[in-house]
Amino acid sequence: MNTYKVKLNEILMYLSLIITSVFLFSSCTKNSLSSNVTTYIADVQPFGADSVKSWVKKDVSGNPISVGITFKAKALTGLPTFDTMYMLMLPMSGTGMGMNMMVSPFDHIEIDWSANGDAAPSVYNKPHLDAHFFTVTTNDQMGIMGGMDSVMLDAKYIPKNCIADGDAEMMMGVHYIDTTSLEFRGYPFQHSYNYGFYGGKMTFVEAMSSKAYLESKVNYTGSIAQPKSYKMGGYYPTQYSIKYDASTDSYTYSIDNLIMN
């Protein structure tokens, strides 16, 4: 959950990232990790003391099963002392004017580093790292205004136990938080999964984790609360994971077990 205010220089940086990423993701690489799963690496960007990459995994039938980011543990040591965002594109299928999202409705990923956490009394008042998986284009994302969202959201699109966390954040939307998460039951914040909406439609889903939880190197995979209906068809996750791989000394945030809706 990122509450920093977007300033002109941050928007200009965002635009430069988009331009750079267009060249990178248009020629994504394909790595076969097994006979049943193929990983498409879309984008690589500088991140902390190292880099971060975005990817999509497909099964043997070509169906998307997972979307995520991966970065080396040493990247955490070089993160800045101020709030920062990083944008990564996701792979596309097709060529030229016929290019489409490989995993509709997901277009790109924004990583938000909150160096000091949200202002108290928020339960997210510790340093944390969020991965926003956006279901709108970068242009549409930049058009999202901060403040009150004037469009009423139909209840059938809101997962059970999720409530709006205040007004819309610029370039994000309104965060809908899962009130069943441990941080709302008297436990320190570790990880959570939230939804974002703006103008009556979903703008992102978010996997977030405290820096302390990442450094504990404990793996987590959990179920995601589902809405009664999705306004836009596509592949939506039923699980999310935050994992550490000792063999590569790396972390992964992912949305998993994608199901067509």
pLDDT digits (tens, 9 = 90+) for 117-139: 998 889 999 999 999 999 999 99
**Is 174 inside a domain boundary?**
yes
Sign of the dihedral through C-alpha 233, 238, 244, 249:
negative
**Is 190 inside a domain boundary?**
yes
pTM of the model: 0.88
Q: Which three-class secondary structure state does DSSP give residue 76?
A: helix
What's the structural domain count of the chain? 1
Confidence of residue 35 (pLDDT cuts 50, 70, 90): low
Q: What is the pLDDT of residue 33?
A: 52
- Of the ranges 18-32, 33-47, 128-142, 165-179, which one carries the lowest mean pLDDT score? 18-32
Question: b/e map of 83-100 (b: 16 or more CB within 10 Å)?
Answer: bbbbbbbbbbeeeeeeee
What's the half-sphere exposure (Cβ side, CA atoms, 13 Å) at 133?
Answer: 27
For residue 15, what are the domain limits? 8-260
